[in-house]
Structure 1
Amino acid sequence: MKRIAVIGSSGGNLYNLGGKDPDKLIGEIAAQCHGAGIEIGAVQFIAASESMDTAKETTAAVLYAWHPDENRLIKQAEGSLKEVNEAAFGMDGEMAGLVGSGKIDGLIVMSADPEGANGRTIQAAAAQAIPVVGTGGTSMALIASKGANVIATSGTTGTTNRTRAVSFMTSLCKHWGIKFVPVLGSPGGSKLPSGKPWRRINLKGIMQSSLPGFIAMAIVLALSQIPALKGLSTVFDIMLKALPVVLAVIAAKQIADLDEVSIVAGVIAGTLSMNGGIIGGILGGIGAGLLVQFLFVKCVQWRFPMTTVNIVAGGFAGLISGLIMYYLVAPFALQAGEWIKHLINLAISFNPIVAGVIGGLLIWPAILGGVYHAAILPIVLLEMEKTGNSFLGAIDMVGLVMVSAGITLANLIAPRDKGEAAVAAPGFLINMGFGTFVEAAYPFMFSNKWVFGGAIAAAGVGGGLVGVFQVRGTAYVPSFMGPLLSNNVIGFTISMAAALLLALIITLVANKASRSRKTSDRNLSAQQSA
């Protein structure tokens, strides 16, 4: 039987997508491991009480370990984040010993700290060449740079506990030649949900999870521009109306967490919330989720048959929330969305070039500061609701994805050190092939201030060109598809190419200067020694 170890933390973006509930997050991994006949040998997981994007040393945190006999998480240490990190550092040595002695066959990593609390484990994994899978753009890039055998990596946007666990296990089983069928259903069987449901309301998580629906709509819109496929414009109109349903289902599922019951409630509420746009869909889904939780618990307490519990919780919750939205809230929700889009269009129409430059210059600080997923992505989706593409979405593709691609390409062509080319290659391919994983540029940006400044400058220039051509587009799609999904194919292509080439040139110059400095230092040292 293969044995794996799980290391990491509740993370920044991961916190909003399952990281704040370690039992559920690790429980899903345990369920998929059980289905594959794989054993969890050890866990070292740091759970903070808030996102790591905003956490401080004084933030409350818990260090979890694994109880092998009971197959569950146990608390190893509790206190401030600083204290928990110190405890984790000690535990890292034990974990590294297990890996180094051959007792661990694979590693699952989620928002880890490869230069701190998980450093020795990563070094041992690299030495043993065991397969490593995980999420967390910055940490996985650093892990790969340390020589670890990373066989699968991704960001966290748009993922869930289940999709991550299935992805991890699929990659590991394929590597080992083990047959794997994903385990579906609630891990451990059905049980009453715990916690206060309103605490699980997370607008950022709802928006991120709905992103595939918006991308699908953008693809349909682009295809409908082809003369032979004009009939797809009707499909686009249908999908536009369906977006509130998608958001309502995600909101209800996120809050109630009762699988199919939550989904049914979300569909009903979302259908009745269509007139409120995506804001209406979110509000309808939140209402349905809260009511599902309340009605489900009450019906169980009243000893209703489980079938009746599902009917009441799913059907009545969706209906009540949906009717409130339909008759009372939907017009105001729609107007709120229109006001936001109007303000964006007003800024663009006032001076699109200035708007593009400002957007480009701020896009990297926004993602590095943890603001992107909280503020920019929701605005992108609000824009896409109306037109199928977005001004800020175009800046995302140009200022983040293409700039990251340019930086990683430069480190493929002429890296500062030979080992950096291997780190840059996956990042470049993912950026170009999937329109995401901009975090691949972080190691190069953080280690060279000229590359960092060049990234911001290239994003500013690219954003300015987006303004010049008044492009509306989207990221999260293959780079060659980006222009095809925009309102200006040539303008978007020029903007993307300019940002990539500028980032490429600046990084090449910075790398050459760095290599020259190192050569001079070595020569000077040799002369002094002589």
Structure 2
Amino acid sequence: MKNVAIIGSSGGNLFNHGGQDAEKLLQELLVQCEAAHMQVNHVQFIGADASMDRAKQTTGATLYTIVEGDIRPIETGQLQQINEAAAQWDAQMANHIHSGEVDGLIVMSADPKNANRAALRAAIERQIPIVGTGGTAMADIQASGANVIASSGTTGTTNRTRAISFVAALAKHGGVKFRPQLSKDFNNKNQKNPLKNINIKGIMMTSLPAFIAMALILALSKVPLFSGLAVVFDVLIAALPVVIAVVAAKQVSDLDEVSIVAGVIAGTLSIEGGIIGGMIGGILAGISVNVLFMQMIRWRFPMTTVNIFAGGLAGLASGLVVFFVLGPIALQAGELVRSGIEGAIAFNPMLAGTLAGLLIWPAILGGVYHAAILPIVLFEMERTGASFLGAVDLVSLVMVAAGINLAHVFFPKQRGQAALAAPGVTINLGFGTFVESAYPFMFSSKIIFAGAIVSAGLGGMMVGLFDVRGTAYLPTFMAPFASTDAVGLVVSMMVAFVCAFVVTVVANRVLGRAAR
């Protein structure tokens, strides 16, 4: 089973399950074939602009083939015109099959009476194994005496799961070892063990937009005109475990929509366990969906059944484990983390804020921020939508970076620095992120670097003084509204900003002039 050919079209029901993007559909097949050490040498595929169930002769369509390993469109026009062109390629495909260049055939929503007639006749005569989808077409092909080794519907399938199913059937028939390719990196050893795909930092980072959306709603809900959004805020807090579960399941299994569905089910059942419960449920769902999916393929279940049951059962089983067993434990673990943070702050909030401010720049420069600080921020935000370390993040990182950048806009040390700093300060103030924009200036001057650390510590001390909770990743004019003390946060922001600005101006103008 070395050489494989692909024929067919974007189909009717297939069009709604990935067929509308013909190039992506075909590319997924190439990826899985390569994982099984099979080569796709010949392709004749029609991609229409609408489902074939309602397509007309005037519907737009494109004929695709493969050239030097790449899927390429070779002709575009109306469906009638493309069908005529496909007939010519059909004759060539038949010749390739007759000459023994094709060991297996993948068929998707084919036309055995017209556009694919010659190729299918050749496949029947040579009795090469055929796998495919498309109810009516596959029934006609089987009735014609073809060697169909796997056939299924398209409902509930995705481009990836269909491709895995097709290639797994061909590989088993040909005695070829096949491990599905779930990553763009063919050298990714993690595919052999889904447990190695578990990345807590990655899950947290990817889930961050959900927390920021919650913080935005919190800020808006404090405006009298939008006070009704307080109910939405409560809904978003409850949904956080679901978001994290989906991200975790997708990260571990990467079976497209199947893993997403499993994550949603597991996350819904893990809500009572908080974000730790959601993460556990999602990880279990990702592992389970992989195991069930491959086992059902080995048992030769229909592809539709594989998708529906693998996603549904994996999500349900994982969610129930968290719901009845692990949820309360996960909830207590989250509470312990939050209690530890609150205990440290309660002991001496100014000292806690100062230490956090002094350490936050070394943490982000050393790669510790995303691995340790950000998860803690998210744990704090899970309950109230705001965080002590989140406020320190905004004040000691974002505002300090903004102060450094703005100083270089108005008082640059060298020509060109203003143009470099302007986008940075805009993003700092407008989006509450991109503190990396200050790196070039900090690394080029020990005074600016030291000023950033001192400003961050001073800003953190002010956060502790006002005992304020907040978050970064918001426009600076909105951040105070998402905090527990708008005035305290504004004062803390201004202290850190002004301090960083002044130190940078002194470094650039006074000390810079003395050095010259």
Give the TM interval when normalised to the shorter protein. Answer: 0.5 to 0.7
Q: State the partner residue of 1:467.
A: 464
Change (3 A) 1:452 1:262: same
Q: Aligned match of 2:249 in 247, 252, 274?
A: 252
Q: Which amino acid aligns with 1:295?
A: L
**RMSD (Å) for aligned C-alpha atoms:** 2.1
- Alignment partner of 1:359 is 2:356: yes
Q: Deviations over 1:301-354 (max 9, x none)?
A: 211111111112100000000000000000000000000000111111111100
Q: State the partner residue of 2:212.
A: 215
Q: Which amino acid aligns with 1:265?
A: A
TM-score where L is the length of structure 1: 0.62
TM-score where L is the length of structure 2: 0.64
In the alignment, the residues of structure 2 paired with residue 304 and residue 498 of structure 1 have an alpha-carbon distance, to the nearest angstrom, of 65
In the alignment, the residues of structure 1 paired with residue 506 and residue 429 of structure 2 have an alpha-carbon distance, to the nearest angstrom, of 22
- Alignment partner of 1:392 is 2:396: no
In the alignment, the residues of structure 2 paired with residue 287 and residue 444 of structure 1 have an alpha-carbon distance, to the nearest angstrom, of 45
Give 1:70 shift. Answer: 4.3
Give 1:225 shift. Answer: 2.6
Give 1:219 shift. Answer: 1.8
Q: Which residues in structure 2 correspond to 1:383-422 (within 5 Å)?
A: 383-422=380-419
Q: Aligned match of 2:374 in 377, 390, 393?
A: 377
- Alignment partner of 1:449 is 2:446: yes
Q: Aligned match of 1:291 in 259, 275, 288?
A: 288
Q: Which amino acid aligns with 1:443?
A: P
In the alignment, the residues of structure 1 paired with residue 464 and residue 375 of structure 2 have an alpha-carbon distance, to the nearest angstrom, of 20
Q: State the partner residue of 1:503.
A: 500
Q: Which amino acid aligns with 1:435?
A: G
Query: Which is higher, the Rg of structure 1 or of structure 2?
Result: 2
Q: Which amino acid aligns with 1:502?
A: C
Q: Which residues in structure 2 correspond to 1:70-469 (within 5 Å)?
A: 70=69, 190-191=163-164, 192-194=180-182, 195=191, 196-469=193-466
In the alignment, the residues of structure 2 paired with residue 377 and residue 31 of structure 1 have an alpha-carbon distance, to the nearest angstrom, of 35
In the alignment, the residues of structure 1 paired with residue 279 and residue 234 of structure 2 have an alpha-carbon distance, to the nearest angstrom, of 19
Q: Secondary structure at the match of 1:206?
A: helix
Q: Which ranges in structure 1 are unaligned for 5 or more consecutive residues?
A: 1-29, 35-67, 73-184, 520-530
Q: Is the 8 A contact 2:160 2:256 kept in 1?
A: no
Give 1:514 shift. Answer: 4.7
Identity %: 58
Give 1:235 shift. Answer: 1.9
Q: Which ranges in structure 2 are unaligned for 5 or more consecutive residues?
A: 1-22, 28-66, 72-157, 165-179, 183-190
Change (3 A) 1:189 1:314: closer
In the alignment, the residues of structure 1 paired with residue 163 and residue 456 of structure 2 have an alpha-carbon distance, to the nearest angstrom, of 49
In the alignment, the residues of structure 1 paired with residue 226 and residue 502 of structure 2 have an alpha-carbon distance, to the nearest angstrom, of 40
- Alignment partner of 1:494 is 2:491: yes
Q: Is the 8 A contact 2:161 2:307 kept in 1?
A: no
Aligned residues: 344
Q: Deviations over 1:191-225 (max 9, x none)?
A: 33451211100000100111111111122222233
Q: Is the 8 A contact 1:193 1:258 kept in 2?
A: no
Q: Deviations over 1:132-184 (max 9, x none)?
A: xxxxxxxxxxxxxxxxxxxxxxxxxxxxxxxxxxxxxxxxxxxxxxxxxxxxx
Q: Which amino acid aligns with 1:221?
A: L
In the alignment, the residues of structure 1 paired with residue 320 and residue 304 of structure 2 have an alpha-carbon distance, to the nearest angstrom, of 23
Q: Which amino acid aligns with 1:357?
A: T
Q: Secondary structure at the match of 1:389?
A: coil
Q: Is the 8 A contact 2:266 2:315 kept in 1?
A: yes
Q: State the partner residue of 2:138.
A: none
Q: Secondary structure at the match of 1:230?
A: helix
Q: Is the 8 A contact 2:391 2:470 kept in 1?
A: yes
Change (3 A) 1:235 1:307: same
Q: Which amino acid aligns with 1:313?
A: A
Change (3 A) 1:285 1:188: closer
Q: Is the 8 A contact 1:398 1:496 kept in 2?
A: yes
In the alignment, the residues of structure 1 paired with residue 455 and residue 514 of structure 2 have an alpha-carbon distance, to the nearest angstrom, of 24
